[in-house]
Structure 1
């Protein structure tokens, strides 16, 4: 006998539940962070509940008071489609900035609008990027599986640094590899040579968070 709850093959699914909250109920709150349009019509954005009904500028200003000490950079020589996902993850882990090295244009669809809340900076090339990092006193740490790479899992990431990802396929450019203080590889156990660039970025950022937010020792 068919389970009625399972439905029938080819049956139309119901409408997806709405994200967020509807119009504010009751007297409106006071404060510059509140957005009158959102209070009146509801807030359907992909933001945490603490930021419901806040203006975008107010959210960014609040995030700026507690951003972490790491930056993320991505080389963009061939219009890498992973950059949007990297930006989204950088927002989730509260990176200081995301740096695009190479081509200025990138596909923002994967960022899911998080680029509005995440600081972005463009560098025309590796030399310009490295000069900026040195001026800021930030070590450049490459994430790639070169023969001279050290293990991310056992490396003590500095609190202030720039984690640099190459683009999908070729990985870090020779110029970026040479400029990096160290390159770190992510342990892999299957048959593939490498993992997706955006996945590698997420692993590297989370390694920083484990070390400097939760104080977990490396090794």
Structure 2
């Protein structure tokens, strides 16, 4: 059984529902622990009382064909946010390139529902993607990049994000088939990597997603 306990956002009270009222459903997707004690997880209503494994299995039937990768050579603190956003947009998987360990706090336990794949180097990620016919699309404000606002993103791809500060590595710049920049109008030269990932994923959804299938 997966625990009903977990962090909540903004210090709010826990979300959820109490113990199941009435006869218990016979559907095996329902978790007896949640039926008996309530479900306080931050999940959509359609998944209330479902077991963790049942939710993951259902998500796997609906995942989008894009992946997300983030470089972690300097222990980037934005990875949790990227994972959480990838879950919201139902990415196929999140790839961590570099250090395997990362701070899961920002993921708000969504890493339990999201496939996480580790690669030691950018070359390993590029080889993995090439075997599956996935294009690497880097997202960074670098010379020669094309505006994300007007770019046509590949349907089957890996959106790659660099670390906070240095941005994408030279290896990623070389391996990517295209690099997209996000239009900015203020004084800073870059935006938070977690924010950039959310913008890019939503751009993919706007081009290829079916909003009728959203919750």
TM normalised by structure 1 equals 0.90
Output the CA distance in 2 between the equivalents of 1:65 and 1:126.
28
* CA apart distance, 1:214: 4.7
Q: Does 1:148 align with 2:113?
A: no
Pairing partner for 1:96 from 92, 95, 109: 92
Matches of 2:144 and 2:188 in 1, distance apart?
19
Deviation track 1:115-142 (CA, whole Å, cap 9, x = no partner) reads 0000000000111111001111000000
Deviations 1:42-66 (CA, angstroms, capped at 9, x unpaired): 0000100000000000000000001
In 1, the alpha carbon distance for the partners of 2:106 and 2:12 equals 21
Structure 1 counterpart of 2:128: 132
- In the other structure, the counterpart of 1:164 is 160
Mark the runs of 5 or more structure 2 residues left unpaired by the alignment. Answer: 1-10
Corresponding residue to 2:201 among 196, 205, 213: 205
Scaled by the length of structure 2, what TM-score is found?
0.91
Alignment partner of 1:120 out of 104, 111, 116: 116
Looking at structure 2, the residues matched to 157 and 126 of structure 1 have their Cα atoms a distance apart, in angstroms, of 20
In the aligned structure 2, how far is the partner of 1:146 from the partner of 1:40?
54
Partner Cα distance (2:54, 2:165) in 1: 38
Partner of 2:36: 40
List structure 1 runs of 4+ shifted beyond 3 angstroms: 15-18
Map of 1:177 onto structure 2: 173
Counterparts of 2:12 and 2:178, CA distance in 1 = 46
User: What residue ranges of structure 1 are gaps of 5+ in the alignment?
Assistant: 1-14
Q: Could you report, residue by residue, the CA deviation over 1:131-179 in whole angstroms, capped at 9, with x for unpaired residues?
A: 0011110000000011110000101111110000001010000011111
How many aligned positions are there? 201
Aligned match of 1:85 in 63, 75, 81? Answer: 81
In 2: Cα distance, 1:16 partner to 1:85 partner: 18
Shift of 1:32: 1.1
Q: Which residue of 1 aligns with 2:8?
A: none
Alignment partners' CA distance in 2, 1:136 and 1:167: 25
Whether 1:72 aligns to 2:68 is yes
Q: Determine which structure has more spread, i.e. the larger CA radius of gyration.
A: 1
User: Is 1:54 matched up with 2:50?
Assistant: yes
